[in-house]
């Protein structure tokens, strides 16, 4: 990826395996030719609901607290196992709120947004609590699959074989992927360029660990907080991420960079809460808060930008196709 040409070659050889044929889109009263909302609609869609978002944040933070309290109170291996599994999904929700904060769409007040969305939910999703993720994620939206795309390799090379998919998910479920993610936080302590972010990461995890100490069970931090992140969350995160961009390609047409999937109730609760499953709409206009993404999706469908030819009926159908490559 050292030069534009070399990156173009990588894009051509490693992406686009899941791109469907798209019908041309003509501008409408609501949308420009590139699918972005016109000014009058954008002003409506970009309203941030501060009070409702505050309740979402408080209730989301209450979820892991209640899970831990229930597991410790019941003190049974089945309740502990259930809490570990559910905690991975709760951590997925934490990351989505961190993502919303990184877009500065949680609260209209910038300081409140950054404190809650970037620092608190950054720490709760095993981040640094800094603007590092926001800066990297900006590159993702500015040019999906471009030279500065932070997750190029996560989305590239699809479709893959079923065997390859199983290997990826096995690495996720056994903690290998989680270790690879957290290892730089340790090595970063000894590198001048990264030590500040590493220290911030450990500050956040120390604060969370002290909450377990206050609850009288510091060891629970490792099996009710760290273990779910290293295992369950990694599986959930991969399945969600590849359903967003797996096998797509670099293009000014967001329908070629991002999947659109119909979501059932189970998916909306566990995999794509807080409207993050409306991902094509999110990439059409990343300045639209999560509460307004379902409306944006409906209007994109109504005006013909999203059609049956670029819509997956459910996540299972998309995952099967992502793992449907046959070895030759």
Q: How far apart are the first and last CA of the chain?
A: 28
pLDDT at position 194, please?
Answer: 85
Q: Which of 124, 127, 130 is nearest to 225 (CA)?
A: 124
Q: What is the mean pLDDT of the chain?
A: 95
Judge whether 7 and 153 are in contact, CB under 8 Å. no
Judge whether 274 and 49 are in contact, CB under 8 Å. no
- Whether the pLDDT of residue 3 is over 70: the answer is no
- Whether the pLDDT of residue 117 is over 60: the answer is yes
Angle at which helix 232-245 crosses helix 176-187, to 10 degrees, equals 100
Section 43-70 average pLDDT: 97
Q: What percent of the chain has pLDDT over 90?
A: 90
pLDDT at position 160, please?
Answer: 97
Burial 273-311 (b: 16+ CB within 10 A, else e): bbbbbbbbbbbbbeebbbbbbebbbebbeebebbeeebe
* Confidence category of residue 141, pLDDT binned at 50, 70, 90: very high
- Whether the pLDDT of residue 5 is over 80: the answer is no
Judge whether 283 and 297 are in contact, CB under 8 Å. no
- Whether the pLDDT of residue 2 is over 50: the answer is no
How far apart, in whole angstroms, are the C-alpha atoms of residue 95 and residue 78?
Answer: 26
Name the pTM for this structure.
0.95
pLDDT at position 192, please?
Answer: 83
pLDDT at position 136, please?
Answer: 93
- Whether the pLDDT of residue 261 is over 90: the answer is yes
Judge whether 198 and 185 are in contact, CB under 8 Å. yes
Q: Which pair of structure tokens corresponds to residue 272?
A: 């794509």
The Cβ-side half-sphere exposure at 210, using a 13 Å CA radius, reads 6
Q: Which pair of structure tokens corresponds to residue 284?
A: 């059409």
pLDDT at position 328, please?
Answer: 66
Residue 295 three-state SS: helix
pLDDT at position 1, please?
Answer: 47
How far apart, in whole angstroms, are the C-alpha atoms of residue 14 and residue 25?
Answer: 27
Judge whether 286 and 244 are in contact, CB under 8 Å. no
**Residues 194-223: pLDDT tens digits?**
889 999 999 999 999 999 999 999 999 999
Section 17-30 average pLDDT: 92
pLDDT at position 4, please?
Answer: 53
How far apart, in whole angstroms, are the C-alpha atoms of residue 197 and residue 222?
Answer: 22
**Residues 265-313: pLDDT tens digits?**
999 999 999 999 999 999 999 999 999 999 999 999 999 999 999 999 9
∠ Cα 208 210 214 (to 5°): 120
Domain boundaries, the chain: 153-174+231-328
Section 11-20 average pLDDT: 91
Q: 143: cis peptide before it, omega within 30°?
A: no
């Amino acid at each position: 990826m050292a030069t534009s040409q070399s990156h173009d070659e990588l894009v051509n050889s490693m992406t686009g395996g899941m791109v469907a044929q798209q019908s041309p889109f003509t501008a409408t009263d609501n949308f420009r030719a590139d699918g972005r909302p016109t000014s009058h609609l954008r002003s409506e869609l970009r309203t941030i609901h501060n009070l409702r978002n505050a309740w979402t944040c408080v209730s989301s933070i209450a979820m892991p607290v209640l899970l831990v309290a229930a597991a410790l109170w019941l003190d049974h291996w089945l309740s502990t196992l259930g809490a570990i599994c559910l905690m991975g999904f709760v951590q997925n929700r934490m990351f989505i709120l961190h993502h919303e904060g990184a877009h500065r769409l949680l609260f209209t007040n910038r300081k409140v947004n950054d404190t809650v969305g970037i620092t608190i939910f950054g720490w709760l999703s095993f981040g640094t609590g800094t603007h590092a993720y926001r800066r990297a994620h900006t590159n993702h939206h500015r040019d999906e699959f471009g030279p500065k795309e932070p997750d190029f390799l996560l989305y590239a090379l699809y479709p893959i074989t079923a065997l390859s998919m199983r290997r990826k998910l096995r690495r996720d479920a056994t903690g290998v992927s989680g270790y690879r993610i957290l290892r730089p936080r340790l090595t970063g302590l000894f590198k001048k360029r990264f030590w500040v972010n590493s220290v911030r990461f450990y500050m956040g995890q120390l604060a969370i660990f002290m909450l377990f100490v206050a609850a009288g069970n510091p060891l629970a931090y490792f099996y009710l907080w760290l273990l779910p992140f290293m295992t369950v969350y990694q599986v959930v995160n991969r399945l969600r991420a590849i359903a967003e961009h797996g096998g797509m390609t670099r293009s000014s047409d967001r329908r070629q960079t991002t999947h659109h999937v119909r979501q059932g109730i189970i998916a909306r609760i566990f995999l794509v809460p807080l409207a993050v499953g409306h991902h094509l709409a999110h990439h059409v206009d990343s300045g639209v808060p999560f509460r307004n993404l379902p409306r944006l999706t409906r209007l994109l469908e109504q005006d013909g930008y999203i059609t049956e030819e670029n819509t997956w009926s459910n996540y299972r159908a998309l995952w099967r196709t992502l793992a449907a490559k046959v070895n030759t």
